[in-house]
Amino acid sequence: MPVTDAGSSTGEAGSNFRFALTALTVLFFMWGFLTCLNDILIPHLKAVFDLSYTQAMLIQFCFFGAYFTVSLPAGALVKRIGYQKGIVGGLLVAALGCALFYPAAESHAYPVFLGALFVLASGITLLQVSANPYVTALGDPATASSRLTMTQAFNSLGTTVAPFFGGVLILSAATVGAESLSASAEADAVKLPYLGLAAVLALLALIFSQLKLPKIDMQEDAAVAAEGSSVWSHRHLVLGAVGIFVYVGAEVSIGSFLVNFLGLDSVAGMEEAQAAHYIAYYWGGAMVGRFIGAVVMRSISPGLVLAFNAAAVILLVLLAIVGSGALAMWAILLVGLFNSIMFPTIFSLALQGLGKQAGQASGVLCLAIVGGAIVPVMQGLVADSVGLQISFLVPIVCYVFIAYYGLKGSKVTA
């Protein structure tokens, strides 16, 4: 992907690229933060509106459903307006989504909250479509992988910090004097945090509108599109898309139910605000595991590591289902550590040997992120029918497929 920075010397361009990369890293942090904040919103709005588990999972359905409905239009828009304007637009749309939490709380209407989440997620989708190409373009192509690893680590940092933020500013605020608060007053607990996030996103949009970012030549995209008609003929890619679907679905589903799971008397009996802090262990484990996995996969086949991690998660989730107390609690929290390498590993295995078709194939894999909308709702239905603890059998089914993909499904066939 050719990069130009007209009017700048080599030294000036390098300086601009470093600053732009720093700003892009902030974006990865922000959308990781905003995505994980849903894990705090779910138990909060479930209590406020007296929702069933299935109804509460509509939060993730609306959020991750945006990836499926907005990804292709966002890609077409970015081709017309350019990546930098796409980033600015994504930030502004996400800021609007955050700001819509104020009228949602005022109206005390769950559908309005869901609409605000869809707008927020649409902005994040546009951000991802726009920002990812910049990460690989800002600097030496030989070090593109290390830059992507760094930005993904900051994404994980955002998911680790978000539970503390949400626990203190949303759940704690809602539980102080909860007995005397009306439902509408409890809903108001989201106003200030999300207005603050809207202001931060708007500020980032202003910064990115002023940055001198490298120009990315999109002519190669036409060559990719010309060869794209047979992309579905690659079995390992199609199975990889299924792998992304079930992985994102399982990861999001487990995170969504963590606060309620830790609140069970048979597990830890925690208050929501206290349980929120423990979500950081789940997402923090993913951040640590990503660095460990990067080292391990230098000497061990990625497919084998993927299958091993999936098997470890199956065992841990089974312990969480049949166990109780500290055993069940720490078993489910440790899942994050083994989840860590799954998304990038499935993604890279699915793109093996695709050459110029990798661009279109990446789009297929991004659409599969919609699993984060479907699987949590499925687990919610099971939780309402047979109980929360036993409902974790749903993500186990997902990890069985991931283990299969690591061992056999990822093999490239002629």
Query: Tokens 């089914």 belong to which residue?
Result: 397
What integer pLDDT is reported at residue 156 of this predicted model? Answer: 80
What integer pLDDT is reported at residue 115 of this predicted model? Answer: 95
What is the maximal distance between C-alpha atoms in the chain? 67
CA–CA distance, 125 with 119 (Å, rounded to integer):
10
What integer pLDDT is reported at residue 283 of this predicted model? Answer: 85
Model pLDDT for residues 170-191, shown as the tens digit of each residue? 766 555 444 444 556 666 788 8
Contacts of 222 (CB under 8 A, 6+ apart): none
Taken in order of first residue, the domains within the chain and their CATH numbers are: 1-217 (1.20.1250.20), 230-414 (1.20.1250.20)
CA–CA distance, 316 with 101 (Å, rounded to integer):
36
What integer pLDDT is reported at residue 323 of this predicted model? Answer: 95
Tell me the pTM. Answer: 0.78
Tokens standing for residue 241: 């898309």
What integer pLDDT is reported at residue 184 of this predicted model? Answer: 60
Under-70 pLDDT residues of the chain: 1-17, 132-150, 171-187, 214-230, 355-360, 362, 414
CA–CA distance, 176 with 181 (Å, rounded to integer):
9
CA–CA distance, 11 with 15 (Å, rounded to integer):
6
Tokens standing for residue 75: 């890609």
CA–CA distance, 410 with 344 (Å, rounded to integer):
13
DSSP 176: T
What integer pLDDT is reported at residue 56 of this predicted model? Answer: 92
